[in-house]
């Protein structure tokens, strides 16, 4: 069947912070740009970011990009690429000022400079003491950033395809990427969006877990599409558990609360972080705090009737500070935990929050794959940025505020690389005859499936399995069992069936297609977690391991661009 | 409401913020089947709000200036 086709210079899949920053660069350079999004752009998940953007502006205390780099490398447990990290930390201040000039309403100091708040894992002078590095707009930094970028894109005439879902990558026999297939929800029509350069900025995939801070839309579509097109994913075992998700609901309580002076208590009223991280205490990096919390719960010091959560205390800050600096926190606590934090502590648990792994990319935003002897051969025409990509700056653990930094820096860098690629490669390659083959056969399979599986049931089983086999603490036997289970679940997902076969706005079909992506991500995560026989950052295994066991399929770049290598050492905070 | 309309509505209850999604999900489970007329129109209007403004209304941080939306806002607050 021949599909309708539309052609652009660049196609960007995703209209969150990364997609919009990239699209702006592309549109302003005069290219024809199509941006696809499953939801209206300003409803992308970036809108939920509260804490801020990490950049060493030095507005509060002395700061330098080198210290930011050190904190990021250390936070990553030395699994981040030091060239990419240097690039990000050096570029960050420029990108923040750019955003300021685009009209981003940052909080201000009395002297007019951008206000910066303290955040976990950020320090002065190579770990000596906390530094205020997070540029914020109250508790609505992501909202302000996304709206600012969207407005700029409207001005630059970026073309948006809203409520369109990209389904698969189009690659030719040489491996070059030539666009995507996509489904328009309103009509149910499938089309080829042909592009000379394609960027994935599809965000995270927290919905593979039972309990997550992520919105429903975070289904890892970009990763699913890449994996189906033969592109291996990187670092998928590293999932960040945010220390403070509201127990039971998943909703995030920003680290900003601890930045402003809130702290964690166990059921005995003990400020236990003093034992685990004597220097930075509650502001130690996320994996350390989450692990400390999981340990407290495991050892019977959790609060509540089932001893399964801890308490985040902030009443001592007083209503004025809470209302001024952390206004959203009160409403969230009232709605989802039934308490007012001005009086009572908030029940919290470590909750899945961020995917450190993703589509392997270099610091220029180019997607790379192993090919011949080269572990990092560039895939022509294909780029990735933001949470769906692994640049890799977060390594085994991301520092708070570094994702928004990543979106801005690598969104722009990927766009610059695309612009260069398009200049050097004028003209348009022919689409292969089977360009839409994978998509059409997936859709036909779904429509014709008999005696199949329920999408909701398979999704539930996947989430339960990820939660119980791939949590904060990981054990070799449960991981091995998890791999078996998740393979079985993937098998079931290949036999899903939907009752409703209609075309217009068929959400059952959309959810089945999303499940295909979720399952790719879940399987990659479980298999990688089983394979990595060491504890590192967010990946914590109970078994002993030897140095030689280290999983090495893509060498870590230890050499920065200009700075000196930050040598590995044991992480303490 | 037709199935298509309901599907479209459910999809638009996918938001950038999980807080809004959880409340809207509870709302649709409780009232979705009988949604029509003014209530339906009010919900649609609220779904056009950005996530931050919607959450301000739902969480009670802000009052709703538009009397036509008041009833649904109250229901959302109780969900
Ligand atoms: C509650 C919360 C608070 C956070 N706070 C902070 C913070 O303070 N600082 C920080 O640095 N980080 C924070 N993070 C992390 C950060 O917000 C995210 O990592 C980041 O916003 C992801 O941005 P993105 O542009 O990669 O993707 P998103 O903003 O998630 O956007 C993804 C886009 O892709 C589109 N899309 C996906 N699949 C498809 C498809 N198949 N077809 C078409 N379109 C598709 C979506 O419609 C959407 O437009 C927070 C995360 C959460 C959950």
pLDDT attached to residue A544: 66
The 10s digit of each residue's pLDDT in A347-367 is 999 999 999 999 999 999 999
Judge whether residue A98 has pLDDT over 70: yes
Query: Of A213, A328, A505, which has the smallest distance from its Cβ to B4's Cβ?
Result: A505
Are A310 and A349 in contact by the 8 Å Cβ rule? The answer is yes
pLDDT attached to residue A421: 98
Q: How confident is the model at residue A323 (pLDDT cuts 50, 70, 90)?
A: confident
Answer yes or no: A152 catalytic: no
Q: Would the CB of A354 count as within 6 Å of ligand 1?
A: yes
pLDDT attached to residue A139: 80
The 10s digit of each residue's pLDDT in A220-239 is 999 999 999 999 999 999 99
The 10s digit of each residue's pLDDT in A421-441 is 999 999 999 999 999 999 999
pLDDT attached to residue B14: 96
pLDDT attached to residue A350: 94
Of A64-73, A319-328, A407-416, A428-437, the least confident: A319-328
Write out residues 19-78 of B within 8 Å (CB-CB) of A: 19, 21-23, 50-52, 55, 58-61
ipTM of the prediction = 0.96
Of A145-154, A329-338, A441-450, A488-497, the least confident: A329-338
The 10s digit of each residue's pLDDT in A108-128 is 999 999 999 988 889 999 999
In whole numbers, what is the pLDDT of chain A averaged over residues? 95
Read off the pLDDT of each residue in A296-308 and give the average, rounded to a whole number.
93
Q: Would the CB of A37 count as within 6 Å of ligand 1?
A: yes
Are A263 and A123 in contact by the 8 Å Cβ rule? The answer is no
Read off the pLDDT of each residue in A296-323 and give the average, rounded to a whole number.
93
Q: Mutate one of A183, A187, A217 to test the B interface: name it (highest B CB count within 10 A).
A: A217
Of A85-89, A167-171, A280-284, A563-567, the least confident: A280-284
Read off the pLDDT of each residue in A54-76 and give the average, rounded to a whole number.
97
Of A140, A286, A325, A536, catalytic: A286
Residue A58 to residue A5: CA distance in whole angstroms: 49
pLDDT attached to residue A147: 97
The 10s digit of each residue's pLDDT in A380-394 is 999 999 999 999 999
Of A16-25, A291-300, B15-24, the least confident: A291-300
Read off the pLDDT of each residue in A529-539 and give the average, rounded to a whole number.
91
Read off the pLDDT of each residue in A79-98 and give the average, rounded to a whole number.
98
User: Which of chain B's residues have a Cβ under 8 Å away from the Cβ of A252?
Assistant: 18
Judge whether residue A550 has pLDDT over 70: no
Helices A507-531 and A455-469: crossing angle in degrees, nearest 10, is: 20
Q: Would the CB of A386 count as within 6 Å of ligand 1?
A: yes
More confident: A329 or A552:
A329
The 10s digit of each residue's pLDDT in B48-60 is 999 999 999 999 9
Judge whether residue A305 has pLDDT over 90: yes
pLDDT attached to residue A282: 93
Flag if B52 and A140 touch (Cβ within 8 Å). yes
Is A45's Cβ below 8 Å from some Cβ in B?
Answer: yes
Are A186 and A372 in contact by the 8 Å Cβ rule? The answer is no
Angle made by CA atoms A44, A410, A117, in degrees to the nearest 5: 70
Residue A159 to residue A146: CA distance in whole angstroms: 16
pLDDT attached to residue A254: 86
Regions of chain B where pLDDT drops below 70: none
Flag if A332 and B59 touch (Cβ within 8 Å). yes
Residue A396 to residue A78: CA distance in whole angstroms: 8
Q: What are phi and psi of A535, to 5 degrees?
A: -100, 130
Residue B57 to residue B74: CA distance in whole angstroms: 9
Judge whether residue A41 has pLDDT over 90: yes
Share of chain A above pLDDT 70, in %: 99
Q: Mutate one of B14, B16, B21 to test the A interface: name it (highest A CB count within 10 A).
A: B16
Judge whether residue A546 has pLDDT over 80: no
Residue A271 to residue A262: CA distance in whole angstroms: 11
Residue A52 to residue A17: CA distance in whole angstroms: 13
In CATH terms, the superfamily for domain B3-78 is Flavinator of succinate dehydrogenase (1.10.150.250)
pLDDT attached to residue A307: 92
User: Which of chain A's residues have a Cβ under 8 Å away from the Cβ of B55?
Assistant: 328, 331
Judge whether residue A1 has pLDDT over 60: no
Look at the pTM and tell me if it is higher than 0.90: yes
* Domain range summary for chain B, segments of one domain joined by +: 3-78
Q: Would the CB of A402 count as within 6 Å of ligand 1?
A: yes
In angstroms, what separates the C-alpha of A461 from chain B's closest C-alpha? 20
Judge whether residue A549 has pLDDT over 80: no
Q: How confident is the model at residue A573 (pLDDT cuts 50, 70, 90)?
A: confident
How many beta carbons lie within 10 A of that of residue A187, not counting itself? 11
Is A105's Cβ below 8 Å from some Cβ in B?
Answer: no
pLDDT attached to residue A548: 60
């Amino acid at each position: 069947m021949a599909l309708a086709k539309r052609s652009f210079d660049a196609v960007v899949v995703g209209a969150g912070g990364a997609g919009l920053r990239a699209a702006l660069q592309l549109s302003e350079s005069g290219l024809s740009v199509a941006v696809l999004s499953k939801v209206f752009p300003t409803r992308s998940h970036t809108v939920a970011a509260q804490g801020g953007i990490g950049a060493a502006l030095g507005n509060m205390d002395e700061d330098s990009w080198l210290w930011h780099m050190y904190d990021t490398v250390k936070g990553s447990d030395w699994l981040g690429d030091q060239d990419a990290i240097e690039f990000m930390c050096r570029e960050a201040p420029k990108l923040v000022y750019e955003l300021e000039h685009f009209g981003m309403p940052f909080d201000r100091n009395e002297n007019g400079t951008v206000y910066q708040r303290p955040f976990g894992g950020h320090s002065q002078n190579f770990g000596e003491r906390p530094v205020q590095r997070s540029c914020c707009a109250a508790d609505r930094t992501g909202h302000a950033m996304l709206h600012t970028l969207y407005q700029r894109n409207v001005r630059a005439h970026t073309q948006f395809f809203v409520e369109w879902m990209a389904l698969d990558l189009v690659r030719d026999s040489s491996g070059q990427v030539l666009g995507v297939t996509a489904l328009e929800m309103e009509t149910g029509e499938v089309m080829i969006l042909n592009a000379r350069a394609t960027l994935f900025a599809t965000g995270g995939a927290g919905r593979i877990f039972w309990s997550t801070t992520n919105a429903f839309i975070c289904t890892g579509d970009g990763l699913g599409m890449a994996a189906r097109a033969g592109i291996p994913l990187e670092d998928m075992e590293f999932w960040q558990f945010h220390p403070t998700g509201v127990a039971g609901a998943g909703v995030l309580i920003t680290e900003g609360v601890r930045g402003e002076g809130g702290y964690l208590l166990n059921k005995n009223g003990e400020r236990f972080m003093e034992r685990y991280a004597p220097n930075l205490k509650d502001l130690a990096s996320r994996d350390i705090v989450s692990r400390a919390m999981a340990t407290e719960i495991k050892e019977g010091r959790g609060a509540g009737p089932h001893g399964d959560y801890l308490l985040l205390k902030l009443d001592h800050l007083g209503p004025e500070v809470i209302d001024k600096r952390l206004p959203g926190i009160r409403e969230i606590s009232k709605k989802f935990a039934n308490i007012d934090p001005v009086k009572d502590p908030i029940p919290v648990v470590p909750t899945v929050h961020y995917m450190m792994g993703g589509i392997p990319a270099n610091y220029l935003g180019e997607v790379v794959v192993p090919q011949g002897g080269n572990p990092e051969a560039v895939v022509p025409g294909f780029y990735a940025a933001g949470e769906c990509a692994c640049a890799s700056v977060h390594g085994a653990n991301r520092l708070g505020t570094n994702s928004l930094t990543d979106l801005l820096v690598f969104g722009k860098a990927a766009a610059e690389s695309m612009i260069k690629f398009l200049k050097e490669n004028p003209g348009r390659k022919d689409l292969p005859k089977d360009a839409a083959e994978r998509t059409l056969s997936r859709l036909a399979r779904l429509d014709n499936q008999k005696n199949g599986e329920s999408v909701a049931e398979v999704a539930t089983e996947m989430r339960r399995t990820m939660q119980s086999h791939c949590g904060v603490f990981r054990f070799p036997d449960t991981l091995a069992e998890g791999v078996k289970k998740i393979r079985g679940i993937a098998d079931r997902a290949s036999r899903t069936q939907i009752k409703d076969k209609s075309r217009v706005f068929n959400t059952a079909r959309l959810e089945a297609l999303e499940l295909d992506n979720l399952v790719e991500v879940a399987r990659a995560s479980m298999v990688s977690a089983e394979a990595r026989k060491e504890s590192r950052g967010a990946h914590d295994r109970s078994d002993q391991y030897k140095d030689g066991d280290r999983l090495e399929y893509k060498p870590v770049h230890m050499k920065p661009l200009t700075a000196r290598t930050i040598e590995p050492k044991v992480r303490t905070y | 409401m037709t199935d298509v309309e309901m599907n479209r509505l459910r999809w638009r209850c996918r938001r950038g913020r999980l807080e809004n999604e959880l409340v809207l999900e509870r709302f649709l489970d409780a009232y979705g089947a009988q949604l029509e007329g003014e209530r339906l129109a009010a919900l649609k209007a609220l779904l056009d709000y950005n996530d931050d403004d919607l959450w301000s209304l739902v969480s009670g941080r802000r009052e709703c200036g538009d009397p036509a939306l008041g009833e649904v806002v109250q229901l959302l607050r109780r969900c």
